[in-house]
Amino acid sequence: METTLRGVGVSHGVAIGEVRHMGTAVLEPPAKRITADEAEREQGRARKAVEAVSADLIARGQLAGGEAQHVLEAQAMIATDPELMADVDRRIAVGSTAERGIYDAFASYRDLLAGAGEYMAGRVADLDDVRNRIVARLLGVPMPGVPDSDEPYVLIARDLAPADTALLDPTLVLGFVTEEGGPTSHSAILARALGVPAIVALPGACEIAEGTVIAVDGSTGDLFVEPSDEKRAELEAAAAERKAALAAASGPGATSDGHKVPLLANVGGPADVPAAVEAGAEGVGLFRTEFLFLDDSKKAPSEEKQTESYRKVLEAFPEGRVVVRVLDAGADKPLDFLTPADEPNPALGVRGLRSLLDHPDVLRTQLTALAKAAEGLPVYLEVMAPMVADRTDAKAFADACRAAGLKAKFGAMVEIPSAALRARSILQEVEFLSLGTNDLAQYAFAADRQVGAVSRLQDPWQPALLDLIAMSADAARAEGKSCGVCGEAASDPLLACVLTGLGVTSLSMGAASIPYVRATLAKYTLAQCERAAAAARACDSAEEARVAAQAVLSGE
């Protein structure tokens, strides 16, 4: 009998197939004791297992490339954390086996992260995956992970570790569903990059029996258990219609009456560029530069290395717009040379621009490298600072850009509610705004973006978030400047129309979403988008806002 479950759709498309569950997590190793004579041998076993898992994660990242590579390299750093390994050695020295020492040390570290205001919840999931991989290697049992199958299937898991998501084979994994996670979790971001339909934060998903036929609609978040023939036909027809619309849409982003809305790509480095170019991106709206800094958490990369990497991205978009975000470290992206180790709540501490202003040499080197990378190129370079709180922050960043001789537009990201409330003041110092809707929602609703239990508050359709976006766009319009969106909200085609109606001047997203957004925008006039935006803001919940906007655009 057909039943319907509802989660959070995070990656467009429809998948129909049999359920396969993620491999079982490693069992807790026995509390076996060793003698003092065996301690050195066990410590060696632990180190070898850690090194092997770290190397495997790095290799997986190199194979996957792009956003996945950055996430997996960060996981490899977790595996080899010196303090964590020192704790493992101590536990083995007093009688634990290698596997038990690893298990207990990671559990202790996990408790520390979970107690840090839960902002680090996303890293807790990554930590569990690293622990399981090390323990599995020590026990000589199969690694937890994606099941082996010769036939295509829909994958269900409590959560998906980046190491698993990164190497999913889209020819076999038709789509995936998780009980946990949120719309801005690592799994959601990687799913969009892969173009695999996905639903997260769906309670009870793991209770669906292996082999059950399900249909996943990654656009709506609906999961249909044992769908009827009629439902299958309806979903397949909708998917075919979307595919035809994608094929018909091409060229620059614009509404049906010619209002231009540049569609840009979010990239993490040179590896992401080919997909962006293929999708017809008109430039880059968010160039995350963190990937360069993950190679060595002890020191920043050289000016030469940064210049070389930045130039590769800039060269891919001749006469296009490339917006670079300077290093955004801290909170869930700590770097030893930059991030305080003893912050009680890293999410509300020294992160983003605050870290860079505390380490002006790091900021100066990055800005100088960007200036050199752009020399002689016709690209329109724009550079923006993360986590800008007020006009003082904006002025400090603009002054640093000028001091570095950077010939580019300087901008500020709006990720803190104070920046939206005082956007016009900030625009006295910079030339554009870029809305990071993931963090803006997190701080506006006090809702960790990695915690599935609060995913409804991370929904970019929340009317309060739309109000903050409108406030920023109105300020930019009043100052004759631009205001783009580079958060995950831009990847929702329907919401892209609403953002356009709110006055947003450009949209940046993962490359896989660009064709969907281009095709949907081309169906509606600017006036329709403005009416849909007004209808959404008049609502009191995210679901009501989505329905109201859809009704306006459908002419209901």
Active-site annotation, residues: 186, 486
Within 13 A of 459's CA, how many CA atoms are on the CB side?
Answer: 23
- Which residue type, as a one-letter code, is found at position 441? A
Name the token pair of 15: 């998948």
Instruction: With both helix axes pointing from N to C terminus, report the angle between 526-537 and 542-554 in degrees, rounded to the nearest 10.
Output: 150
Q: Give the angle 69-73-74 at the CA atoms, nearest 5°.
A: 120
The residues with which 409 forms a beta bridge, in sequence order, are 382
Phi, psi at residue 193, to the nearest 5°? -65, -35
Q: Could you tell me where the beta strands, DSSP code E, fall in 162-212? A: 173-178, 198-200
CA torsion 431-436-441-447 (nearest 10°) is -130
Contact 43, 51 (CB under 8 A): no
CA torsion 54-57-63-68 (nearest 10°) is -130
- Which residue type, as a one-letter code, is found at position 251? G
- Distance CA(67)–CA(271), nearest Å, equals 8
- Distance CA(343)–CA(350), nearest Å, equals 8
Contact 276, 310 (CB under 8 A): no
- Distance CA(87)–CA(104), nearest Å, equals 9
Contact 269, 68 (CB under 8 A): no
Residue 316: closest CA among 290, 283, 291, 280: 283
- Distance CA(389)–CA(26), nearest Å, equals 43
- Distance CA(365)–CA(303), nearest Å, equals 6
Q: Is 287 helix (H, G, I), strand (E, B) or coil?
A: strand
Residue 197: closest CA among 219, 225, 182: 219
* 355 alpha carbon, distance to own chain's centre: 21
Contact 66, 275 (CB under 8 A): yes
